[in-house]
C-alpha cells in the first residue's frame, strides 16, 4: 500500500446498501428476584418505540426495516405491555424467536405455535436489498 492510501479491508462494498434492523433479546415481564440491575419492561419498550419511530434523540437515525425479538418474549402477551407491542408492530415488521422461557410458561410447544400461528418449528424469511438477498433461518425446539 502506498503512502496516503487507505485500506478498505473489512468494509462493505460501496455498491451495497445497509440494512438497519433492531435485535431485541430477553424482554422479560418479571425479572429474577436476585438480579441487581433490573430494567422495567415498560421503560425498555417505550424507549424502543421512540427508537423505532425515530423520535427525540433518535430523529436522525434510520428507521429499522424490521425487528427481531429473540427469546423470552412472554411480555408480548402480558396485558400491561400488549398495547406497546402492538404500536411497535404497527411501525415495523416484527419477528419473534421462540425461547426457553416460553416453553416453561406455556407448558408445551404446541400452545406457543398456536399463539403465533406457527405451522412448524423451523421457519425462515428473506430480506432483499440492492439485488442481494439475506435469508434468516430459525431452527428451534
In the chain, % of residues over pLDDT 90 = 13
Is residue 34 in a domain? no
140 vs 68 pLDDT, higher one? 68
124 vs 54 pLDDT, higher one? 54
State the residue for C-alpha cell 415481564.
29
pLDDT at 91: 92
Residue 139 has pLDDT above 80, yes or no: no
Using CA atoms, how far residue 9 sits from 6, 13, 14, in Å, is 9, 10, 12
CB contact at 8 A, 45 and 53: no
Is residue 14 in a domain? no
Quickly state the pLDDT bin for 32 (edges 50, 70, 90).
Answer: low
CB contact at 8 A, 94 and 67: yes
Domain count, the chain: 1
Residue 56 has pLDDT above 90, yes or no: yes
CATH number for position 73: 3.60.21
Residue 140 has pLDDT above 60, yes or no: no
Is residue 8 in a domain? no
Written as nine digits, the cell of 113 is 405455535
Domain that holds residue 111: 21-28+40-139
59 vs 98 pLDDT, higher one? 59
Is residue 131 in a domain? yes
Amino acid at each position: 500500500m502506498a503512502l496516503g492510501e487507505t485500506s478498505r479491508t473489512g468494509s462493505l462494498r460501496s455498491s451495497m446498501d445497509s440494512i438497519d434492523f433492531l435485535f431485541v433479546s430477553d424482554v422479560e415481564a418479571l425479572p429474577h428476584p436476585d438480579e441487581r440491575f433490573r430494567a422495567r419492561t415498560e421503560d425498555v419498550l417505550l424507549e424502543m418505540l421512540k427508537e423505532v419511530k425515530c423520535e427525540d434523540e433518535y430523529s436522525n437515525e434510520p428507521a429499522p426495516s424490521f425487528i427481531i425479538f429473540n427469546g423470552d418474549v412472554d411480555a408480548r402477551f402480558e396485558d400491561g405491555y400488549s398495547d406497546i407491542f402492538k404500536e411497535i408492530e404497527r411501525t415495523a415488521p416484527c419477528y419473534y424467536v421462540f425461547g426457553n422461557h416460553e416453553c416453561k410458561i406455556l407448558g408445551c410447544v404446541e400452545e406457543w405455535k398456536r399463539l403465533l400461528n406457527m405451522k412448524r418449528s423451523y421457519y425462515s424469511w428473506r430480506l432483499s436489498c440492492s439485488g442481494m438477498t439475506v435469508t434468516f433461518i430459525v431452527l428451534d425446539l
